[in-house]
Structure formats: C-alpha cells, structure tokens
Amino acid sequence: MFQLLIVDDEWFAVEGIKSGVDWSGLGFTAIYEAFNVDQAKARLAQSEVDVILCDIEMPGQNGIELAGWVREHFPALPIIFLTCHADFAYAQQAIHLGSFDYLLKPVDFDVLKNTVHKALEQQLEVKRDKQQNEIYMKYYKMWETNKTVLYERFWQDLMWQRIVPLPSHIERALAANDIPIKSDYRVLPILISLEKWEKPFSARDEDVMEYALRKTAEELLLLSEPGQVIRDGNGVLFALLFDDGTKGRTLSFDQMKKRCQAYIEACSTYLYCKVSCYIGEWSFLAAMSQSYNALLQMELNNVAVSQAVLFYKEQTPSAKEVQLPAFFEWAELLEQAKCEQLQNVASDMFDKLGTDAGIKGETLTIIYHGLLQTVYYVLQKRGVPAHAVLGSGTTLDMATATRSLAQLRAWTMKLIETVCDHLSSREKESTIVEKVKRLIENHLFDEMSRESLAASVHINPAYLSRLFRKESGMSLSDYMIQQKMKKVNELLLNSNETVSNIAKMFHYTNFSHFSKLYRKYYGLNPQEYRKQFSKNV
C-alpha cells in the first residue's frame, strides 16, 4: 500500500533501518534503497514513493541538496533527515526545506517508527484533500456552466400554488416553459435534508458543494429514470421522479429506499456531509403542493434521527385519504397576523369539507393536529411561549373541538383570532435567529455546535441553518466565528493574557488555525495586532 525510499551512502546503515522496524506493520509493501543522490532521483522518477528517509552527509551531493530537488518536483512528499551530527546549521536548512523531521543517528527505532507513522498520516490527509479538491473543481466547473432555472421555476410555482392546480393551467405552464412532461404524469417527491457539513466551508464553497449534492442526487436517485433535482426557493433540495403511466410498473418504494441509502453513504464519504431523505407518495401534478408541504412538515418535526430514509406513508398512515390544507401557507399568514385573510382561507376549506358526505371523525382530528402544529411552529419561531397565548387547557380541548365539523370550524376561527391578536399586539417579537444570536454571545467561551444550538430552540438543525442564513445573510458557522474573533480582539487589546491562553479560552488547540482565522478578520496575526494597537503592551 505504501512505498519507502531509504537514502544513505553506507550499506550497513540502510540494512539496519530495513531490519530494525516492522515496515509491513505500517503498511509498506515496497522498501527502496539508494546510495547517492542520483540513484534517489532515478528511483523517484520510476516509483510512487510515500516517505523518504535520507542521510544528510553523503559524498558529492548531500541530503540537503536532494531535499531541494524533491521540493521542486514532489512538494508534498515528506522527508525525514538522519544525521550523525547535531549541527544547528543543518537543522536550519532542513526546516527551511520543509522536512517532516530531523533525527540523530544512531536512531531509536521506536522513535523512527512513530515518526514515519505520523508522516504517513500527513500523506493520507494530503491525498484526501487532493481528492476533495478534484471533486470540488469538477462540480465548480459544472456549476459555472449550468445555471438553467427554467424547469426549477416551474416546480417552485407549482409547489407554492402560484400555478392554479388544474390540468388546463398546468398544461399551459408546461408549454410556456417548454417542459417535456404532461399534467397527467405522476410525480414521486423526495426531500433531501442537508443536516450537517463535516468540514468547515465558506459561504461560496458551501454553494458549490450543495451543487455537488444536487448532481450526485441526479446520478444516484434518478439513475436512468426521468426526473429532475430542484430547489424549492427556500434552499431545500427535492428529487422528483416522473411516471407517464406507459411503463406498466411504477418504481417501488424498496428500490427508492436502496437508492436513497446509497446517496446518503456517498454524501458522507465524498462530499463531507450528513443528509436524510424524506420520500413522499406518487401523486399527480395537481397535488404537488400538498405533497411538498407534507414533506416539509416531516423534516421540521424530525429531531430524533439522522442520515435516515423516512417515508411519508409510514409517518402518517391515517392521512392517506385526507386532503390536508397547505399549512405552510397558513403559517405565513398567521405569522404576519393577517387574521381576516387566513380566516377566509379556512372558511373555504370548511365549505369544501361540508360538501363531502363521507367525511369521517379522523379527518377532523388530523386537521385539528395540523393547525395546532402550525400555531406552535409560528409561536416558537417568534419566541412566544405557547401557554402565554393559549392559556388554559380549554383552548386545547380536542374532544370538544372535533365533535362536529361546525365545532371544529368555530374552534379554528377562534384560535386564529387569538393568535393573530397576540402577535399583532407585540411591538417587536424575538425570533429564533435573535435567540440563537443571544445564545452565541452569552456562551462564547463554551464549545457550541449547530446541533446544540438547534436543540436549545427545539428545531431541526438543517432548518435552523437555512433560517439563520435567510434572516441574517450569513451562515451560522461564520457568525459564531465572527463573534468569537470580536471577543478575542477585545481580550487582546484590554488584557494581559497571552495569545495562546486566549486561543485556549475559545477551545482553539491548533494555534496556526486560530491565527489564520484572526488574520481573516483583522488583517494581522494576533501578536502583530496586539503589538500595534494594545495599550497594555
């Protein structure tokens, strides 16, 4: 798996190193030897070496000169120098040439083994970063050259009911956008929930990597099936599979589950992120808005499992025959305290239900819970305690509210009025984003994560990330770093704490990484900034 090159002009020294360490235990399958610089260069030109052990003092060209040549032709290849002399000038040159380490002969074989092991770990990290960069550049080029939004805009309009959900209106919209499907096609929607990035990315890099998520979904979820992967307008990815009814057999849910599992694994392995897939049900285009809202509700309510494949039919089996209201649209109207408009929408729904002679009691229960969840969602987003609005348990008396359609209608109208009155009477509401910002500012010295912050405000982490970026204009991780750097700057200028202690206060154990973050915000490293501006120096 790995290949080692030993460079030393003394034969017995080479043999001692070869026999003194269990190289196969470290994963080396080939040990090459060279007795001068020319032989070493020839071997490097022929073989893919992973680590070089090199003596410094050799006749003709020495190890330092070889290292200079290696740095020019193989800049990432680690070199471990071996020498009989503790000469500081040699050590200085070795460091200047970026050597991995500098060991004195006779070398302790345990120390040599540990040093080579660390060098291999560095090489593996370099290879992983190279692989990630290749994937990144591949998708970046595709992202730059493919920005078509025509199809995507159609699906967004359909999901948000900007297109009237009637076959004639849908057909006109399909023709206007030159989309090669028909209104009688069936669609299977799959919501792709981005739960966590495993590596820190800038906002621009996240956009590129999210494009990679999209292209990977096309490859693994759609395969050869007709369909499209789109955004919903709020940053949520959806994979849509199409069925024109001519194949005689619709793609099974077991097949889709296997595809989703493969996609989740690929995202974790190659794209450094965790995702879950929420699979809806096959439905006609006219019912696309209901399917869309149902999957969004599923994602919002899921705070228990990660990297999972979840089916709508398994989550809400009793709701299969119920035409649920578009509760996400209700939430928007409720949050804006548009009481009259929302009551008109609710009234239209009850009028339609009143014409259904086969309506069942479970339908009323489903609507009751759906509306109550919508109210809790809006109040939570606005930072309003539910008990402060709903008061005593009589407001939540399900048995009374669902006794008849007329009673559910009266309860719904009263609930809408109560919530709207409370929201409109507040001059300024504290939103979830504001609460998260306060949490960050009050816990700058604690270790924080997106998951812990989301748990503090009781919402799904993926939903918190999208909400924070939408309302603040920057990613949650960038905001946390920004606030920490502000506090770091305050301590640098107004305290006598050492820079390393300040870094530890904020749990930065890698001082180089800490210094780079600080320079990003203030243009100087922490020591330079303190020396130039601090009154305590």
Boundary (domain end) residue, out of 294, 315, 336: 315
Identify the bridge partners of residue 103 per DSSP, sorted by sequence position: 82
Residue 148 falls inside a structural domain = no
The letter for the amino acid at 75 is P
Name residue, tokens 């159609």: 154
Residue 95 falls inside a structural domain = yes
- Rounded CA gap, 115 and 51, in Å? 11
State whether 308 and 333 are in the same domain: no
- Rounded CA gap, 365 and 302, in Å? 21
Q: Strand 101-104 and strand 79-83: pairing?
A: parallel
State whether 306 and 331 are in the same domain: no
Give the pLDDT of residue 109. 85
Boundary (domain end) residue, out of 390, 425, 460: 425
State whether 69 and 184 are in the same domain: no
Q: Which residues contact 145 (CB under 8 A, 6 or more apart)?
A: none
Strands (E), 49-90: 51-55, 79-83
Q: Domain tally for the chain? A: 4
Determine which helix (DSSP H) or strand (DSSP E) holds 294, and give its type and residue range: helix 288-301
Give the pLDDT of residue 42. 92
Give the pLDDT means over successive 10-residue stretches in the chain (537 positions): 88 87 88 91 90 85 85 85 66 57 79 86 81 75 56 86 87 82 90 87 83 91 88 88 74 87 94 92 89 86 76 61 71 84 88 69 80 85 74 64 79 88 58 86 89 87 86 88 90 88 88 87 87 69
State whether 290 and 380 are in the same domain: no
Cβ atoms of 120 and 2 closer than 8 Å: yes
- Rounded CA gap, 91 and 86, in Å? 8
Q: Sign of torsion, CA 215 221 227 230?
A: negative
Helices (H), 160-238: 167-176, 203-217
State whether 274 and 187 are in the same domain: yes
Question: Which CATH number fits the domain that encloses residue 269?
Answer: 3.30.70.270
Q: What are phi and psi of 309, to 5 degrees?
A: -110, 115
State whether 388 and 449 are in the same domain: no
Residue 244 falls inside a structural domain = yes
Question: Which CATH number fits the domain that encloses residue 61?
Answer: 3.40.50.2300
Residue 165 falls inside a structural domain = yes
State whether 163 and 306 are in the same domain: yes
Question: Tokens representing 459?
Answer: 């919402």
State whether 270 and 204 are in the same domain: yes
Residue 142 falls inside a structural domain = no
State whether 441 and 420 are in the same domain: no
Query: Among 251, 272, 247, 248, which residue's Cα sits nearest to residue 260?
Result: 251
Query: Among 440, 460, 522, which residue's Cα sits nearest to residue 489?
Result: 522
Query: Among 439, 524, 449, 445, which residue's Cα sits nearest to residue 491?
Result: 445
Residue 149 falls inside a structural domain = no
Residue 274 falls inside a structural domain = yes
State whether 339 and 310 are in the same domain: no
State whether 401 and 504 are in the same domain: no
Boundary (domain end) residue, out of 382, 402, 425: 425
Question: Which CATH number fits the domain that encloses residue 447?
Answer: 1.10.10.60
- Rounded CA gap, 227 and 241, in Å? 4
State whether 54 and 191 are in the same domain: no
- Rounded CA gap, 400 and 394, in Å? 9
Could you list the residue range(s) of the whole structural domain that residue 59 is in?
Answer: 2-127
Identify the bridge partners of residue 3 per DSSP, sorted by sequence position: 30
pTM comes to: 0.44
- Give rounded-to-5 percent helix, strand, coil for the chain: 60, 10, 30
Residue 321 falls inside a structural domain = no
